[in-house]
Structure 1
Amino acid sequence: MATTRRRSVLVAHPSAELYGSDRVMLETVSALTARGERVVVVTPTDGPLLAEARRRGATAEIVGFPVLRKRLLSASGLARLAVALPTAIVRAIRMIRLHRVDAVYVSTLTIPVWLVAARLSGRVAVCHVHEAEAAARPIMKRALSTPLLLAQAIATNSEFSAGVLAEPYPALGARTTVVLNAVDGPPAPTPPRGTLSGSVRLAYVGRLSERKGVDLCVAAVKLLADRGRDATLDIVGDVFDGYEWFAVQLRQYVADNGLEERVRFLGFRPSVWEELDAADIALVPSRLDEPFGNTAVEAVLARRPVVVSETSGLREAAAGYPSAVFVRPGDAEAIADAVERIADDWDTFRRDAETARDDAAERHSRARYDDAILAVIDRADPHDGGHF
């Protein structure tokens, strides 16, 4: 695309880690820098994401701004947020002007301060939404969606997310485009084991939280042991800051039920392919709505059968893959049943897992994502027919 100068995009993101939405944001950075954009990434904390952003050609800085975490969604939390917002908006406007950016790409709706600052600065505002709370109260849905009225273009990671956003403001639907996440697979995925000799090896990858259902995985291991089925579980991931109590409770449950030899806590890993290679079956057991399910796609790309909660965006993420088994959300027994079903028909699921990988690789390729997200950003320009 012809241009007379190198354009600049500020990318605002709520964390500096390397989980699902973090990696999606980094792919957007890669797409922008690859076509010559000057990119500035800002996060409120330090972490491994900043080094990754720099490696992809962006400038990366730490800037203090509030993030809408669940603990802020209370009367006292919202009061603290209201006090912090004016200062945060001024700081954001200064960053926008300092770097002379043409557009602000806001990664997730949990950092509305950047949408406000972009519009007050007269810049293009794009929001990429990775969240969806279908079960939230109507007033909360409206509160979360209201800042999106400031965005000239919106990307979401699933039809489910798009539908949730449009409930309080149907007009947002015309500005919203579904862009499937780019999900990298391992360069050379190890084939599934030919036979399941010894323990069935299970893996959970993701945040340690009740919402994500990692405790259901542990409970399923206990149920399998009670049934005489030998199974082990590797837990790959860590908690959000402030939720360390959940990890303590989870470890206590493991100890109380004598599962120390069956359950391993491996912590956060920047790459999960080695852990998925070591597994036979991946578990994605979210209790509540998920806007999408990168970890389910990663399991398919790793050529592993996957047990997935049948809810919200997870249905879209794992739809059409014969190696995926859907289970009722919040049901450890259903997870244990699904593991046994896969183990008892291993030859079929092993073959299905190998063929499903090709479909996932095409559906979630970087090239497809890059074209789609750049088209959304370009359409946000109010001046020259869709380009800023």
Structure 2
Amino acid sequence: MTVPAPRRPPEPVPAARPPLLVVHPGAELYGADRVLLESATALAARFTVTVAVPGPGPLVGELAARGVRVETCPMPVLRNAALRPRGALRLLADAVRGTLPALRLLRRHGVAGVYVNTLTLPSWPLLARLAGRRSVCHVHEAEQSAPRLLRLGMALCPALADRVVANSRFTLEVLAEVAPRLRRRSTVVPNAVRGPADPEPARAELTGPLRLLYVGRLSPRKGPQVAVATLQELRSRGVDARLTLVGSVFEGYEWFADELRSTVADAGLGDRVEFAGFTADVWPHLAAADVALVPSIGDESFGNTAVEAVLAARPLVVSAHSGLREAAAGYAAAQAVDAGRPEEWADAVQRLTADWPATRTAALADAAEARRRHAPERYRDELVAAVAGPDAVPAPPHAVLSR
């Protein structure tokens, strides 16, 4: 008599991932956009993610490459331009045009809630309440020097949200100064920043011109003018140096780029400053640099460009304030100085280059530490836990979308 083989238990069927709507105010590939890319990738391990953006841009292609659905939706975005009559009218028009499409997106793709990736989108937590959806506001802004009334207005989005995620301790402290009750429902999750798996060490000898690098928006508050002034100061000391500026301007700030070019020309630095424009891939520029400069005049909630320089194993000088100090803390090849004093920036550059072999070695060790601090896997688990709530279980490794 043949004994039938024991029946194998059926394979477990993976549970359906609940739909989560992610909202972001742009579609470029600057620091906040790159963080959104990591956030959407992380959340897609636990949810079926749909990202809503106001229009096309390179971020859309990057999200699609990671298997994330993207929808466009008119949305009011709080920017400085909204303080002027024309900007205020545009803000109101975007709010009116975007209300019904936003409600449709919330009902269709926001069953698990809406993740609002900035406090410049206060309409979304309010609309989420109207649609009966939970909302999480991820705060990347920390305008400590702004007028208190403006800061109260900026706290509206997190105040309306059910949960708040802050990208640094500094960001949370700035928010809590005007809205202390938010501290109880807030979590700090430091940014994930991807870097080279095996960064190329800085060149062994500083032969020829010293190569300085600035990466970021060409805007007054980001401080590219400080980078130019630092180059000018170094030149006055007899240091053979050059500067590459990687970035472009916000629409409406073309006047600043023109002013910056005039400053370069008037200082006789036209052959020593390269305006490289925007590029989504900053790593070749970092690999070619000797020292990176992050000279923001305005407050920075975190400082992704500073972390990218560390991940690339490049010595770094940052402004000694706000989240930049926090982002660069504990790295041996990083210097923090007063943003408004170019002579101190020149001093810091010369300190880093005085014992170049030691600085070069320290920068490589810093890169390894930065990879640990800002690993996407760590960010994924912490962000999912913050967004999903206390019952969240970290996703298994096979659930993570590949880059």
Q: TM-score, normalised by structure 1?
A: 0.94
Alignment-derived partner of residue 15 in structure 1:
26
Q: 2:43–2:384: 8 Å Cα contact kept in structure 1?
A: yes
How many Å separate the matches in 2 of 1:338 and 1:4? 54
How many Å separate the matches in 2 of 1:210 and 1:164? 22
Alignment-derived partner of residue 131 in structure 1:
141
Give how far 1:325 is off: 0.7
Quick one: which amino acid aligns to residue 116 of structure 1?
Answer: L
Give how far 1:386 is off: 6.6
Q: 1:108–1:127: 8 Å Cα contact kept in structure 2?
A: yes
How many Å separate the matches in 1 of 2:199 and 2:190? 22
How many pairs are equivalent? 381
Give how far 1:74 is off: 4.8
Matched residue SS, 1:10? strand
Give how far 1:304 is off: 0.6
Q: 1:138–1:168: 8 Å Cα contact kept in structure 2?
A: yes
Please, which runs of 5 or more residues in structure 1 have no aligned partner?
Answer: none
Gap change, CA 1:82 and 1:5, over 3 Å in 2: same
How many Å separate the matches in 1 of 2:257 and 2:71? 30
Q: 1:88–1:113: 8 Å Cα contact kept in structure 2?
A: no
Matched residue SS, 2:381? helix
How many Å separate the matches in 1 of 2:71 and 2:16? 23
Aligned: 1:190 with 2:200: yes
Q: 2:53–2:71: 8 Å Cα contact kept in structure 1?
A: yes
1:200-349 alignment runs, 5 A limit: 200-349=210-359
Quick one: which amino acid aligns to residue 27 of structure 2?
Answer: A
Give how far 1:117 is off: 1.3
Q: 1:68–1:111: 8 Å Cα contact kept in structure 2?
A: yes
**Aligned with 2:178 (options 168, 175, 196):** 168
Alignment-derived partner of residue 366 in structure 2:
356
**Aligned with 2:39 (options 6, 23, 28):** 28
Measured on the aligned residues, the alpha-carbon RMSD in Å equals 1.8
Give how far 1:83 is off: 5.6
Matched residue SS, 2:182? helix
Higher gyration radius (CA): 2
Please, which runs of 5 or more residues in structure 2 have no aligned partner?
Answer: 1-12, 394-403
Q: TM-score, normalised by structure 2?
A: 0.90
How many Å separate the matches in 1 of 2:329 and 2:83? 33
Matched residue SS, 2:50? strand
Alignment-derived partner of residue 51 in structure 1:
61
Hey, which bits of structure 1, 4+ residues long, moved more than 4 A? Answer: 74-80
1:96-175 alignment runs, 5 A limit: 96-99=106-109, 101-175=111-185
Gap change, CA 1:188 and 1:307, over 3 Å in 2: same
Report % sequence identity. Answer: 50
Matched residue SS, 2:132? coil
Quick one: which amino acid aligns to residue 138 of structure 1?
Answer: R
Q: 1:33–1:56: 8 Å Cα contact kept in structure 2?
A: no
Q: 2:137–2:157: 8 Å Cα contact kept in structure 1?
A: no
Gap change, CA 1:167 and 1:86, over 3 Å in 2: farther
Q: 1:42–1:63: 8 Å Cα contact kept in structure 2?
A: yes
Alpha-carbon displacement from aligned partner over 1:67-126 (angstroms, at most 9, x marks no partner): 111121357644653464344333311222243542101000011121111111111101
Q: 1:29–1:56: 8 Å Cα contact kept in structure 2?
A: no
How many Å separate the matches in 2 of 1:66 and 1:248? 29
Alignment-derived partner of residue 177 in structure 1:
187
